[in-house]
Amino acid sequence: MRRSPLIPRPRRRVGLIVLLLALVVALVGPLLPVRPAAVGAETVQEAPVWVGRAVEVADEAPSSPWVWPTGTREVVRPWEAPASDYAAGHGGIDLAAPLGTPAVAVADGTVSFAGQVAGRGVVTIDHGDGLLSTLDSVEPSVRTGDTVEQGAAVGVVTVGHCPAVAACVHLGARVDGRYVDPLPFLPPAAWPVLLPESAWPG
């Protein structure tokens, strides 16, 4: 007995369904989302987030809490974080400033020290909340305990941290007793004029 030609063969029908499913997967598959949450999480972990945040802070000039202490924005030696608490580093930034240049308070605060340290004039100001600024190589015109406002004169630049032929002011910052890079507290710097390493003070 012959099978009626109107009734499809089962094997042919199954093969047709498999072929259609394969075509649908091939066409629609590339358009499907690929777990955006997981990809996003991996991207955040791999991105240099701290570098990005540092740049954002430095670029926000209107919200910068400090002012440049000598009017110049030329950094002749940058901050260098020590490899450990006992390793050498450079706990601040050196700003080009001719001898006799007035030095001002970077922010409101109280003078916690004004005097000589290792033969150099130093002024330290307590800004509250554990934040202190230090101006090294400045002849103080204020005394310990004085209250100063941002931009008020606290001394003049003298020889000390940098050689006389390239005088500078060393600006330091401490948060809860630890030295930090003061640059993010300041408005954006000018193009840095970096001294050769052989000219850096020890």
Residue range 72-103, pLDDT digits in tens: 888 988 988 877 666 667 889 999 999 999 99
pLDDT surpasses 60 at 149: yes
CA dist 111 → 69, 143, 146, 180, 181 (Å):
15, 7, 5, 19, 20
Give the integer Cα–Cα distance in Å for 77 and 62. Answer: 25
Give the pTM: 0.63
- Write out pLDDT tens, residues 10-43: 555 555 565 666 555 555 554 444 444 444 443 3
CA dist 61 → 3, 49, 66, 173 (Å):
87, 20, 10, 18
Per-domain boundaries in the chain: 67-199
pLDDT of 189 reads 74
Tell me the chain's radius of gyration from C-alpha atoms: 32
CB atoms within 10 A of CB 167: 22
Report, as an integer, the average pLDDT of 163-168.
76
Domain 67-199: give its CATH code.
Answer: 2.70.70.10
pLDDT of 160 reads 82
Of residues 156 and 86, the one with the higher pLDDT is: 156
Of residues 91 and 156, the one with the higher pLDDT is: 156
- Write out pLDDT tens, residues 37-62: 444 443 333 322 222 223 233 343 33
CA dist 71 → 17, 21, 92 (Å):
79, 72, 17
| Chain centroid, CA 202 distance in Å | 24
Report, as an integer, the average pLDDT of 101-127.
97
Range with lowest mean pLDDT among 108-117, 126-135, 163-172? 163-172
